[in-house]
Amino acid sequence: MILGTVRRKIIANFTIILLIIASATFYTGLASSELARSVELLFRNNLLMEEIRSALDQTEVELSGYLMNKTSDSLKGYIRQSTKLSEKVKKLNREIRQDDSLLLQKDLAGLVDNYLQDAEASVSAKRGRDVQGYSERYENAEQTAELARFLIVRIEGIFISDSLKAFSAFNSRISALLASNAALVIAATLMGIMLLLRFSYKLTGPLAKLAEAARAVGRGEYDHELPLPETGDEIGTTAAAFSSMQASVRRAFEELKSKSEVEKTLMEERMRMLDMSHKLKDAELLALQTQINPHFLFNTLSAGMQLALTESADRTADFLENLSAFMRYVLKPPARSVWVSDEIECLERYIWLLRLRFGDRYSFEVSADAEVLSVETPALLLQPLVENAVTHGLKDHEDGGVVRVTARKVGNEAVLSVEDTGDGMTREEIQRVLNEDEKVHECGIGLRNVIRRVTLATGGKGHVELDSVIGRGTDVRIHLPLEGSGQ
């Protein structure tokens, strides 16, 4: 199966919905743009006529002012306004068209050109002191201006008539556009909702069934049926894997139950035989207990290990081997000096025994630098600290915890650290341990014993540090000097 099917479905569905909405929006914007252009065309010509009329009036005012006063300011004003009028007239139609308003625009352009020529001639005559000449040309310019205004009014009338007709059509188009836009938006919304609901149901339906099956398994209902979805996507793969896991758990549970019943029967039989054997040999056992010494214990454990190997009980043999080696290490004189590597080996055997007892409840992490393995240290420093961490720091943690043991070289010291994620110790408890207060519990006694032996073995050069935070754990660090330790 190709991964990413659900992701592709989500992207495809939302892309379709977005395309529908985008299409509706684009159509609405396009229609609105068309209407806006129509409105612009309706009023653009009227605005041009108004600008030409205004420029013509201003030109007349400036021309009259110059002819009457003959000042440089009035001449500059005339030139400025006549230039503006000339630029506006350039926008008029100057070709012969089959349209009344365009033909009138052509006539208007000609009249304005004539007006500007007469006005320019009157200005030139005025400057040449030709009174009769500038009077005649000025009168001609005024007559031409009146005719131009008349044509502007005619053109504006045609524009108004055309605008009213266009507005009527525009109004009807507005209503149709609003109706079509509303229908399109509603259709796009409904289609998007339908696609979204359909996809959501197809996506969440199998997930809901899978979640219900998981809750049933959590309650111990291993026979809960899980209908497999027909889709070949990640959900279908997950459901198939869950169904397979459910069947495996059910088979394992049934096998475990069957084995448990057989073991229970065997255990009852063994207990009955052991009880009879104990009753017959109580006296002999009491006598033998008084004669047991470490060498006898080691030999007995070795014999048990050989017997377990003979009977192919490899795990029992490993247990007896680790227990024997651990007891041999523990029963040697505690005042002796050993290598850090010996301490690590003893600790690993002890951790093996703890895992046999507690299973995977606790996690142990042991690491040591090669350069500190040959450092001398008092025996049995790490094991009591790990035992304290498990039996006191983590005892109330049903979900287990972590114990980290490290051996590092830091400057001129070898630092052995035992850190746990347990309950931690209060500041007062730490002070009582460090001050050798008699009112400490068993954990404090073991830790205090470690502190005392480190101080005595190193002549006061070594020391023990203790950091602890309530609810977050404890870190015990043993500092051993490297001078005279074999380094």
Locate the domains of the chain by residue range: 5-201, 335-481
The whole-number pLDDT of residue 279 equals 42
Mean pLDDT per 10-residue section of the chain, whose length is 487 residues = 58 74 71 63 72 85 81 82 85 76 80 85 81 82 86 80 68 70 78 77 71 71 63 66 70 76 80 58 35 50 64 71 72 75 91 85 93 91 90 84 94 94 88 66 68 86 91 93 69
List the CATH code of the domain at 335-481: 3.30.565.10
**pTM, full prediction:** 0.39
The whole-number pLDDT of residue 334 equals 59
Q: Which fold has domain 5-201?
A: Four Helix Bundle (Hemerythrin (Met), subunit A) (1.20.120)
Q: Which of 79, 78, 80, 148 is nearest to 109 (CA)?
A: 148
The whole-number pLDDT of residue 289 equals 37
Q: Which of 189, 203, 192, 194 is nearest to 9 (CA)?
A: 203
